Amino acid sequence: MKPKYVYISFAIVFTFFVFFLVKRDKPKTELTLIERTGTINSTSEWLNSKAAIQKLLSDLRRNPDNIKSKMQLAFAYIQESRETGNHGYYDKAASQLIDEILEKKPNDYEALCAKATILLSQHHFAEALTTGNQIIKENSHSAYGYGVLTDAHVELGNYKEAIKSADEMISKRPDIRSYSRVSYLREIFGDYEGAIEAMKMAVQSGIPGMEQTEWARAYIGHLYEMIGKYEEASEQYQLSLYHRPHYAFGLAGMGRIEKAKQNYSEAVKYFSNAKFTIKDYAFYDECADVYRAMQKPDSADNELREAIDMLSAGNEKESNSVHGHYSDRELALLYLKKYRYDLALQHALTEYNRRPKNIDVNQTLAWVRYRRGEYAEANKHIDVALGTNSKNPLLLFQAGLIKSMSGNLTEGKKLLQQSLTINKFISNDLMWEAKGILNSVKHYTLK
């Protein structure tokens, strides 16, 4: 053998050896609990969660094969993900534990429930649907399984199936989980009154002060906002803050109320507090809107950059990984605000290719197309977005503009009228856009 080949062979063997050693010796990282920051780190709930999680971690250090502790820790991390908004970290931590369980017990009911929940959080809806079906196959009486199916079908745009699953779920177990899903479906099918009623039932079946309950209560506020009832919305947000002080979604809700009153400084304070509590991109996004209303474009851009960075960290680096989060729709909307229509389209299309039947995805893509002046394409997607007869005032307003610009003035006018009847407080930007259209019509000026 020539020396050259000897060296090459040696190098290959050495490389494999090193690789083997590195791989073999690489210690498994224990994904432990991260200290909460902000105001939620001083609650008794946090202290108790922390004690419970530390006990579970301690159990697992002593007995790494304790499946029960592993499962409980996974669910604790899933909950912590909700509480802190740190989905990237905790979803990964929970996934790691659940994967270990499923490796040993592939049909374990609880592990499948946890896996589906994580997949939904990561927006891996097709996989969540598969897992949901697996749960039902294992246990046809599981309200949890039907909850997973409801969420996955909604997100994939299978609305008839979603309704069927939600009705099945609530027949198994009427509670905060099923009432809130019925509420959401009523909302997207255009029944705000029924949605509010169902969400109120959800709140009444939850524990006041717990995150889930206050999420539902804050969502009632959101529903009131949608139909322009800001006083009622404010009441719900304040109630959520009373029952769960510093609750980020209560704070953000109050931020929107203050913004509606044009108390922009107060609004920024609320959003800042919400951000301090939970690092969620949406609060940065909403804060950017307030800064724009305050004529502070640089501050707005900073907020948007933060929001994009947060989502991109999970999306671009890991979009194809098992534990990655899909955030393309959200990124598309953020890039629209940054006037980066090329990137907006790229992300909107990525999401559309995943979920071509989902109304939100189609609304997003339609709006991106509209911004690009591609009215025919926009029209095609806005028709899909209107498919559930949603009364979302922004959707209707956008649809009105798209229809108008694509030549269907009668329909456009009707949709705009409908939108403003539901909620007259529509976006400042969009109103001026309507003005632009209107000003091009002779004899008319928007005051």
Partner 1 sequence: MQKKSTKKSLWISLAVVAVVTSAIMISNSFLDASSHREAPLIANDPLADNTDLYAFRSPDDTNSVTIISCYVPTELPQGGPNYYSFGPNVRYEVHVNNGSSATEDKFIYRFTFSQMNEDSTTFFNIRLGKQNLKTTYTCEKSSDGGVSFTTIVSNGVVPPNNIGPRSIDGPVGLNTPYSTLMSNAVATATSGETIFCGPVDDPFFVDLGGVFDLGQTRAGGSGVDAPRDGLRCKNTHAICIKAPIASLQKNGLSVAQAANILDPDFVIGVWASASRQQIRTINGNGTETHSGNWVQVSRLGMPLTNEVVIPIGQKDFWNSLTPYQDGTYFDSLFCNPELGLYMDNSQFGAAVPALSALRIQRASPTVLGNVDFGNGNDGLYVLYGNAATTGTALDTAIFGKYLLRDNQPRSVDLLPIFYTGVPNLAPYQLATGKTAGNPLSPGKPFINNFLPTFGDMLRLNMAVPVTPRNSPAFSSEGIIAAAVSGLTDPMYNTTTTLEFIPNMDGFPNGRRLEDDVTRIELQAVAGAALAAVGLFYDDYVIGQSPVTPNLLGVLGYTTGVEANDTTFNSSFPYVQAPWSGYGLCAGGSIVLSIKPNGGLNIGAPEMMMEAFPNPASTQNTIRIRVANRANVKLSIYDGNSKIIAVPLNTMKDKGLYDIPVDLTRFGSGVYYAVLANNNQTVQSIKLVVNK
Site for partner 1 in 77-116 (CB under 8 A): 78-79, 82, 85, 87, 109-110, 113-114
According to CB under 8 A, which one of 59, 232, 316, 377 is a site residue for partner 1? 59
- Phi-psi category of 249—alpha, beta or left, where left has phi over 0 and alpha has psi -120 to 50? alpha
Q: Assess contact for 194 and 186: CB atoms under 8 A.
A: yes
* Cβ at position 322, least distance to partner 1 in Å: 18
User: 11 CB contacts (<8 Å, ≥6 apart)?
Assistant: none
Closer to partner 1 by Cβ: residue 19 or 145? 145
Region of 108 on the Ramachandran plot (φ > 0 left; ψ -120 to 50 alpha; else beta): beta
- Residues between 181 and 210 that touch partner 1 (CB under 8 A): 181-186, 189, 191, 194, 197-198, 201-202, 204-210
For residues 447 and 445, give the distance between their C-alpha atoms in angstroms, rounded to a whole number: 6
**Separation of first and last alpha carbons in the chain:** 90
The number of residues that bind partner 1 (CB under 8 A) is: 142
Compute the least distance from the CB of residue 424 to partner 1, in Å: 5
Q: Which of residues 297-316 bind partner 1 (CB under 8 A)?
A: none
359 is an interface residue for partner 1 by CB under 8 A: no
Member of 121, 234, 273, 315 binding partner 1 (CB under 8 A)? 121
Q: Between 6 and 217, whose beta carbon lies closer to partner 1?
A: 217
Select 15 or 54, whichever has its Cβ closest to partner 1: 54
- Cβ closest to partner 1, residue 382 vs residue 426: 426
Min dist CB 5 to partner 1, Å, is: 56
Q: How far is the CB of 22 from partner 1 (least distance, A)?
A: 31
Report if residue 220 touches partner 1, rule: CB under 8 A: no
224 binding partner 1? (CB under 8 A): no
Q: At closest approach, how far in Å is the CB of 246 from partner 1?
A: 14
The secondary structure of 182-219, three-state, reads HHHHHHHCCCHHHHHHHHHHHHHCCCCCCHHHHHHHHH
Cα→Cα distances 395→54, 391, 401, 424, Å: 46, 8, 10, 13
Q: Which is nearer to partner 1, 109 or 276 (CB)?
A: 109
CA distances from 373 to 171, 340, 349, 365 (A): 47, 14, 16, 12
Torsion over CA: 98, 126, 360, 173 (sign): negative
Considering beta carbons, is residue 22 or 350 the nearer one to partner 1? 350
Neighbour-count burial of 284, counting CB atoms closer than 10 A to its CB (0-12 exposed, 13-18 middle, 19+ buried): buried
- Residues 367 and 353: their CA atoms lie apart, in Å, by 16
Contacting residues for 321 by C-beta, under 8 A, at least 6 apart: none
Rounded least distance, CB 422 to partner 1, Å:
11
| 78 vs 129, beta carbon nearer partner 1 | 78
What track of x and - describes contact with partner 1 for positions 7 through 46 (by CB under 8 A)? Answer: -----------------------------------x-xx-
Binders in 414-443 for partner 1, by CB under 8 A: 416-417, 420, 424-431, 433-434, 436-441
The residue among 330, 322, 366 whose CA lies nearest residue 347 is: 330
**Site for partner 1 contains 51 (CB under 8 A):** yes
What single-letter DSSP state applies at residue 36? P
Residue 430 tokens read as 């969009």
Among residue numbers 371 through 400, which ones bind partner 1 (CB under 8 A)?
371-373, 392, 394
- State the binding string over 244-283 for partner 1 (x if CB under 8 A, else -): -----x--x---x--xxxx-----------------xxx-
CB of 205 vs partner 1, minimal distance in Å: 6
Q: Is residue 170 within the footprint of partner 1 (CB under 8 A)?
A: yes
Closest CA to 346 of 325, 372, 320: 372
Backbone angles phi, psi at 369, to 5 degrees: -60, -40
